[in-house]
A = this chain, B = another copy of it.
Amino acid sequence: MNEEKDTIELMENGHSIYLPHLSIDCVIFGYHEQQLKVLLLKWKNRNRWSLPGGFIKNEENLRTAASRILKERTGLDDIFLQQFHTFGEPTRSERSPEDVEHLSSITNTPLDMEHWLLKRTVSICYYAVTEFSKVDPQPDFLSEQCEWQEIDRLPELIFDHRDMIEEALKTLRLHIYHQPIGYNLLSEKFTLPEIHDLYETILGKALDRRNFAKKLLSLGLIKKLNERKSIGAHRSPYLYKFDKRKYEKALKSGIVLVI
């Protein structure tokens, strides 16, 4: 891929390909063994971190655009994205003089202040959660790094991308009670400590082990298998799995957990 050509094409012809004033940003959470991370890109030749984002084609459906943008910018495919909020502060996407200079340097032409990339942009945000040990993100032609960063040690981010992450986290914490988020993040069979750790990590708070397990079991959302996981000579905890039918029924009928 001719990277310089791609960048120049985006800057010079983007206004005729994409809807003006609109963008999409993706907050991709990654979970693995008690760690919650978020996927960030680092701009090429600049110490600037951002969420993977991009623009909506003139005739493109929003969800299709979100998936395409995520794939183009990070290589991640088949990720179930959910819209959670649209950010539209009038000054949210104002670019600093350094950023304008940086953009100008790409095409070797000072950027006109009427350039489409400098207009007010309203950004429609999507989020997803994945098991980060199972995917291999790759930076696109605009970025030099694409990596998982710990949620409580984020670098400085452009625009309002930190607010987006916070809002996505709130949504995830609400949805974890209403949607079978665990399905994607645990193996089909898991131990009680594994599901307990998942909920503690996502909710960012300690949950009493005994009560947590008791609640999940008494609601019938998980069931104990007649099978153990072999961890070591003296440790072989029972395995559990989600009771999909009950889980979905509970989700439909209202709320599931009081934790």
Contact = CB atoms under 8 A, between A and B. Distances in A.
Interface in A205-259: 253-259
A75 interface: no
B257 A88 contact: no
B22 A124 contact: no
Nearest to A173: B254
A86 B86 contact: yes
Interface residues of A, number: 30
A19 B19 contact: no
Contacts of A124: 86, 88, 122
Interface in A72-88: 83, 85-86, 88
Copies per complex of this chain? 2
A203 interface: yes
A34 interface: no
Interface SS of A by simple majority: loop
Contact of A255 (B21, B58, B85, B257): B257
Interface stretch (A44-52, A59-67, A138-146): A59-67
Contacts of A255: 177, 255-259
A60 B122 CA distance: 11
A158 interface: no
B90 A254 contact: no
A22 B177 contact: no
A60 B90 CA distance: 6
A14 interface: no
Contact of A90 (B61, B88, B257): B61
Nearest to A91: B59
Those 9 A-B pairs whose CB atoms lie nearest each other, nearest first: A62-B88, A86-B86, A254-B259, A59-B90, A86-B124, A177-B255, A255-B258, A19-B21, A255-B255
19 contacts: A19-B120, A20-B21, A21-B21, A21-B22, A56-B122, A58-B120, A59-B90, A59-B120, A61-B89, A62-B88, A62-B122, A83-B86, A174-B178, A177-B255, A203-B254, A253-B259, A254-B257, A255-B259, A258-B258
